[in-house]
Structure 1
Amino acid sequence: MARHLANPLVPDVAEVGAELVDIFVSGVFFSHMTITLGRVTLGFLVAFAVSLALGIVMGRNRYARQFFEPAILIGLTVPGLVWALLCVIWFGISLTTSTLAVALSLSPPLALSIAQGIKTVNADLQEITAVYRLSILSRLRFLLLPTLTPFLLNGIRIGLSMGWKVIVLVEIFGLSSGVGYRLNAEYSAMNVAGVLAWTIGFAGVMALLEYGVIGGIERYVTRWRRVATV
């Protein structure tokens, strides 16, 4: 179709492939992708710490759940573009901006998943931990985390799908590095093939993280579960 149109705005597969090979061979893709991954990781760590504490409190305390749940539900409906814009306005162009933008987009689904997971913790096991006076860290390690694992992974998947979009938007708005910056540079140069090449590369890394890393972790931590056979 691109060949028949002969339009510079509709590049053919060969052009996109050449751009893709170029950014990979030159190493520019990996350098900017590493920066973007670092920003997402930092935002994720902040979101995880806040969401874990908030989710546990909400799951164990009815009043805390009633207080925080409306704000979390509102946070789930806020588009990533809004978080990116607000953080750029409030904090300017800095590492704080990207970290908080990602954390704000990740925290609502993660906290909600953790709160739902806490409700499923076996009451008898909770009584046993109380009888043996296990420490908070021991309860977290041996009771809560094993129960919360599926909910955590689900929250991480949903949150990261939003976090990637937010970090790219923040980078487009003014950062001088990262995948979003490169997409903005290719757009400014009207290089559609370059935009598509960076998009394909970025999507490939996301798929690798989803099915390779997160999927691998899920298979490892749930390996003890029995699989029903027909």
Structure 2
Amino acid sequence: MKNRGLLTKDSGYKLLSFLMVISLWKVLTLHFSPLIVPTMGSVLAEIHKILTSPDLYAMIPLTAGRLLAGLSLGVSLGLVLGILMGNFSQVKGVLSPLVGIMQTVPPVSWVVLALVWFGFNGKPAVFIVILSTLPVITINVCAGFRRIDKNLLEMASLYRFSKVKRLRHVILPSILPYFKSAFQIALGSGWKIAVMAEVLTTSDGIGGMIKLGRLNVEPESIIAWSILVVLLFYLSDFLIGKFLFRKETNYAATP
């Protein structure tokens, strides 16, 4: 009953937040031209147009493919670096400044460099997603390794756990929460950065459609595609949480 009450309260807060956004939007449409703040009706009509257009099924796979490629490479490299930095202080000392630099350089700077290196195509989007994902995964995986309970490691040694058993029952339960939060951050920023890179470097994908909306002075198109990006993020986050991380709490308990 208590959990149900908390769930109801959380849903109420989300509904209130949504109504506040809608109300603010309505007020703004009364004071600004539709070329600046389009009406909700025009945006909904544009969303319907997109959903019934072949563009949706052509452009979303392009952006999602670039995001998936960038995330896959960024997560893989981040895991390797995070494990090395978490286990070896010397490696951490050498790589920490490089990871910090990678994290603090503005994404737009990487976009400009990627344009020079790869040209106007989809490759810069993949490259930028890799660079935005890698430091987030690296830092969190490293933190997870360095916070593994030493008493648990000693107990595993005392009971002569095999390497596989130690990994399953001690290491994974310690680093999975860090990896999960890092992956969710990387996924959210990945969608934004992939679309931003497409706007600046190519004419296809969701970013290409947003660029087209800007060139045609169609703010309703820009907002409609942006709303779809938000929905795609929540959908991908839900699917990953349901299928990829659903058993994370079972590692320590499963014999």
TM-score after normalising by structure 2: 0.77
Tell me the residue number matched to 1:201. 228
Task: Write the distance in 1 (CA, Å) between the matches of 2:76 and 2:235.
Answer: 25
Displacement of 1:27 after TM fit?
4.0
Report sequence identity in percent: 26
Shift in alpha-carbon separation, 1:140–1:101, aligned structure 2, 3 A: farther
Tell me the residue number matched to 2:98. 71
For 2:241, the aligned partner's letter is: G
Tell me the residue number matched to 2:184. 157
Question: 2:86 aligned with 1:59, yes or no?
Answer: yes
Displacement of 1:52 after TM fit?
1.0
Match of 2:241 among 211, 215, 221: 215
For 1:35, the aligned partner's letter is: L
Task: Write the distance in 2 (CA, Å) between the matches of 1:129 and 1:28.
Answer: 58
Displacement of 1:5 after TM fit?
4.3
Tell me the residue number matched to 2:55. 28
Shift in alpha-carbon separation, 1:16–1:95, aligned structure 2, 3 A: closer
SS of 2:73 mapped into structure 1: helix
For 1:100, the aligned partner's letter is: F
Aligned residues: 224
Task: Write the distance in 1 (CA, Å) between the matches of 2:108 and 2:136.
Answer: 17
Task: Write the distance in 1 (CA, Å) between the matches of 2:225 and 2:186.
Answer: 22
For 2:187, the aligned partner's letter is: L
Match of 1:110 among 133, 137, 160: 137
Match of 1:179 among 182, 206, 227: 206
Shift in alpha-carbon separation, 1:140–1:80, aligned structure 2, 3 A: farther
Displacement of 1:96 after TM fit?
3.6
Shift in alpha-carbon separation, 1:130–1:33, aligned structure 2, 3 A: farther
Displacement of 1:104 after TM fit?
0.7
Structure 1, unpaired ranges of 5+: none
Deviation string 1:198-228 (CA, Å, 9 cap, x unpaired) is 1111111112223x124334444226789xx
Displacement of 1:57 after TM fit?
0.9
Displacement of 1:193 after TM fit?
0.7
Alignment of 1:74-93 (within 5 A): 74-93=101-120
Shift in alpha-carbon separation, 1:22–1:95, aligned structure 2, 3 A: closer
SS of 2:201 mapped into structure 1: coil
Task: Write the distance in 2 (CA, Å) between the matches of 1:223 and 1:145.
Answer: 10
Which moved further from structure 2: 158-167 or 183-192?
Answer: 158-167
Residues 84 and 167, structure 1, Cα contact 8 Å, conserved in 2: no
Displacement of 1:100 after TM fit?
1.9
Task: Write the distance in 2 (CA, Å) between the matches of 1:145 and 1:95.
Answer: 35
Match of 1:46 among 62, 73, 81: 73
TM-score after normalising by structure 1: 0.84
SS of 1:176 mapped into structure 2: coil
Which moved further from structure 2: 183-192 or 138-147?
Answer: 138-147
RMSD, aligned α-carbons: 2.7
Which moved further from structure 2: 38-47 or 73-82?
Answer: 73-82
Structure 2, unpaired ranges of 5+: 1-26
